[in-house]
């Protein structure tokens, strides 16, 4: 029984820290026609130069695993842009005061936030048909991100984010 309780706790904690993705695509497109890609000519994900190269390397590896080859004459352009935001970490210490007498009771309570805000990174991956200049597939991935992490941890986080994004490609119609 203890094993089941700890398994649920571990699953809950892991789910809170993993990237979350949403996918959208053009239903009329035959995704089997795409086998080559290139980064969008105006590719600027909005990260530091080092993080941009980590993201680009993760993307190249994942695209190769999906069967794509990088090309001068690509079938699709891949563009990525990012947005950083902070969210309350929801850790609180509860404080309450109350009293009563007879059949009447009164109480006041509140939560005092502890810790700092959690930093999240929202990455949008766009696949653009080069010939028609049209967006054909998109993934939006939100993930907690520690900008104070060492380079290896940052690279691993980008690997997870890109893997989560490309998990939905090609779309299952």
**Residue 7: inside a domain:** no
**Residue 135: inside a domain:** yes
User: What are the structure tokens assigned to 104, written together?
Assistant: 């009447």
Structural domain count, the chain:
1
Whole domain around residue 159: which residue ranges?
A: 19-88+115-166
**Residue 53: inside a domain:** yes
Specify the residue for token string 């398994």.
7
What are 39-97's pLDDT values in tens digits?
999 988 889 999 999 999 999 999 999 999 999 999 999 999 999 887 766 666 666 76
What are 110-130's pLDDT values in tens digits?
666 665 667 889 999 999 999
Structure confidence at residue 32 (pLDDT): 92
**Residue 52: inside a domain:** yes
Contacts of 130 (CB under 8 A, 6+ apart): 74, 75, 76, 77
**Residue 172: inside a domain:** no
Structure confidence at residue 1 (pLDDT): 56
CATH of the domain at 142: 3.30.160.670
Contact in structure between 76 and 127 (CB atoms under 8 Å): yes
Structure confidence at residue 161 (pLDDT): 95
Angstrom distance (rounded) from CA 114 to CA 125: 34
Q: pLDDT grade, residue 19 (50/70/90)? A: confident
**Residue 171: inside a domain:** no
Q: pLDDT grade, residue 102 (50/70/90)? A: confident
Contact in structure between 42 and 78 (CB atoms under 8 Å): no
**Residue 119: inside a domain:** yes
User: What are the structure tokens assigned to 16, written together?
Assistant: 């809170």
User: What are the structure tokens assigned to 133, written together?
Assistant: 């200049």
Among left, alpha and beta (phi > 0; psi -120 to 50; other), residue 90 is left
Structure confidence at residue 11 (pLDDT): 41
Beta-strand ranges (E) seen in 19-146 are 20-25, 36-39, 69-70, 76-87, 92-101, 104-113, 118-129, 134-144
**Residue 9: inside a domain:** no
Question: Among residues 149, 44, 47, which one has the least CA distance to residue 157?
Answer: 149
Structure confidence at residue 12 (pLDDT): 44
Structure confidence at residue 67 (pLDDT): 95
User: What are the structure tokens assigned to 30, written together?
Assistant: 């035959």
Specify the residue for token string 């700092």.
116
What are 23-48's pLDDT values in tens digits?
999 999 999 999 999 999 998 888 99
Residue 158, CB-side half-sphere exposure with 13 Å CA sphere: 25
Residue 100 has pLDDT above 90, yes or no: no
């Amino acid at each position: 029984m203890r094993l089941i309780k700890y398994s649920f706790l571990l699953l809950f904690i892991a789910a809170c820290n993993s990237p979350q993705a949403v996918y959208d695509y053009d239903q009329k497109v035959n995704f089997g026609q795409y086998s080559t890609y290139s980064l969008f000519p105006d590719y600027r994900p909005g990260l530091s130069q080092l993080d941009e190269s980590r993201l680009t390397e993760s993307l190249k590896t994942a695209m190769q695993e999906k069967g794509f080859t990088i090309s001068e004459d690509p079938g699709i352009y891949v563009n990525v842009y990012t947005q950083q935001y902070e969210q309350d970490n929801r850790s609180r210490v509860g404080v309450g005061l109350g009293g009563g007498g007879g059949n009447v009771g009164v109480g006041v309570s509140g939560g005092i936030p502890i810790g700092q805000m959690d930093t999240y990174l929202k990455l949008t991956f766009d696949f653009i048909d080069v010939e028609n200049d049209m967006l054909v597939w998109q993934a939006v991935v939100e993930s907690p991100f520690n900008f104070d992490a060492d380079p290896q941890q940052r690279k691993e986080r980008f690997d997870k984010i890109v893997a989560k994004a490309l998990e939905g490609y090609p779309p299952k119609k």
